[in-house]
Chain A
Amino acid sequence: MKVMVIVKATEQSEAGEMPSEKLLSEMLAFNEELVKSGVMLAGDGLHPSSKGVRVAFSGSDRKVINGPFAETKELIAGYWVWQVKSMDEAIEWVKRIPNPMPGTESVIEVRPIFETEDFGEELTPELREKEQRLRAQVESSQ
């Protein structure tokens, strides 16, 4: 299974404080460990929300809202995508992450990524219909 591991923001990360050299080297070593274990698929740190935007959807309206955003603790400061055997394995790896936000309380969230088999029965007829439409298009264009 694949999981997304989400590092939640803190006041410091939102203020654009860069991690210390020590933390960077610890993080580098941890990432190396993930790579060597075949777990790491992707991962990056994110700029603070002040450099981000949101696009709000309402019916057919789209409104662009510039950062920074409030509710700091719900914001994201970085993420990984890992391939693991179970949520328990993911948790075990998360515990080994060097504290990304030293000197303050912070949270890392783990969420399983949808796999093909997770799409329930409900979606199937829709997908089938889409597929059939596509096929009909392909065939009529030949």
Chain B
Amino acid sequence: MTTSAVGRTIDAVWRIESARLIAGLARVVRDVGLAEDLAQEALVAALEQWPESGVPENPGAWLMATARHRAIDRLRRAEVHDRKVGELGRELEIRGAAASRDLEAEVDDPFDDDLLRLIFTTCHPVLSTDARVALTLRLLGGLTTKEIARAYLIPEATVAQRIVRAKRTLSAARVPFDVPARDELADRLASVLEVIYLIFNEGYAASAGDAWMRPELIEEAQRLGRILAELLPGEPEVHGLVALMELHASRSRARTGPGGEAVLLLDQDRSRWDWTLVGRGLLALERAYETGRAPGPYTIQAAISACHARARQPDDTDWESIVALYDALVQLMPSPVVELNRAVAVGMAFGPEDALELVEALRDEPALRDYHLLPAVRGDLLAKLGRSEEARAEFERAASLTQNDRERAVLLGRSAATLAARDGIVPD
């Protein structure tokens, strides 16, 4: 094998093994920063040795064994050092005990719990959101600093600094490498799900740059979600989030037209949806409900998305169910934006008049004052009621409020063709 071929193999092995490697080491050394350093050292050793010796038969175990030796070395050195200093004695007794355990056996252990501990640590609320995202992509996704920087269109140094600071913060706050206690679990899990959903959304509705979507972030978030779903199969919201992501991602191909313009959900060519992902999304949603626990916001949003996925054509959409789901969502997540979405569904299920009444009630909502979808929805309803002049004014107002050039073009187009009323504006 050539050196570059070995290099590519090592990258691939790292992608597959790094999270579990770091998680397993972090359990022993009780510090994710140190664990990653050790894993990196093992990686460097692989880069030095494998081109000569060839890729070992079980590359993951090789990396683990190498990193483990280094971990034990470090722990022993630290132990000696700390005895001299006479500090942290008690803590190091524990560390010492860890080092003398039969680590050989642990290589074959299922690392599932460690992986879970690692996820809860990288998504710890003591870290800022940006830090959580960067650390999660790095330690769980196995992405390099460069890859993260490229995905977020920010300088590499910024990412590197975020990661260094995040590790320091975790050490300073003495965040234990552990799964949260039962009474903390709900909050801590919410933080994990938030990080995954943020990564997904950054990929799905890119907030920076020319590209509308960044598939690498979408796929990374899907992968993290799927991993988490296997680690916490009893948590409905994990499956709910997975379902939501799979269903949204299934529409990636259909949500932009040939000129790069946005295509609204009801206008999408459903034959271009990724039906494998639709199937996976519906399955994940089923798993969420099968837990028998009350559905949370992610599950309900996924259920709404599933109503669209089940409709072979827009006319088949079960709008009444969607309205009922929005009713539930408003209870869990009261927000004028959710109310607005609910109004759209009401319009589809029960007609534009009912919907318009709901929208009128939202017009004084301060949070929606500059929100372009409020006039867009209102314009749509007015157009359906034949009030073209008012509709036109609303589309123009919506066009003046949106930040997105492509969306503005769509809205101005609607203003120009107010009478060619389209089906509702449904957030996809």
Contacts and interface: CB of A to CB of B under 8 A. Distances in A.
B11 A41 contact: no
Contacts, number: 62
Nearest to A132: B258
B15 A38 contact: no
Interface in B220-266: 222-227, 230-231, 252-253, 257-259
- Give the interface size bracket for B toward A: 20 to 34
A83 to B, nearest CB: 6
Nearest to A84: B15
Interface in B1-46: 8-9, 11-13, 15-16
A134 B8 CA distance: 45
Secondary structure at the A interface, as helix, strand, loop or mixed, is helix
B145 to A, nearest CB: 16
A35 B226 contact: yes
Given A85-B15, A88-B8, A116-B252, A38 B223 contact: yes
A39 B258 contact: no
A95 B339 CA distance: 51
Contact of A38 (B9, B112, B226): B226
B70 interface: no
A91 B216 CA distance: 19
B13 A92 contact: yes
Given A83-B223, A127-B258, A42 B276 contact: yes
Interface in A21-52: 35-39, 41-42
A139 B258 contact: no
A92 B223 contact: no
Interface of A: 1, 35-39, 41-42, 81, 83, 85-86, 88-89, 91-93, 115-117, 124, 127-128, 131, 134, 138-139, 142
Given A88-B9, A89-B16, 19 more contacts: A35-B230, A36-B227, A36-B230, A37-B16, A37-B227, A38-B223, A38-B224, A41-B277, A88-B11, A91-B12, A92-B16, A117-B215, A124-B258, A128-B258, A128-B259, A131-B257, A134-B269, A139-B420, A142-B421
Interface of B: 8-9, 11-13, 15-16, 112, 215-216, 219, 222-227, 230-231, 252-253, 257-259, 267, 269, 276-277, 279-280, 420-421
18 contacts: A1-B219, A36-B112, A37-B223, A38-B222, A38-B225, A38-B226, A83-B222, A83-B223, A85-B219, A88-B11, A89-B12, A89-B15, A89-B16, A91-B12, A92-B12, A127-B258, A128-B259, A142-B420
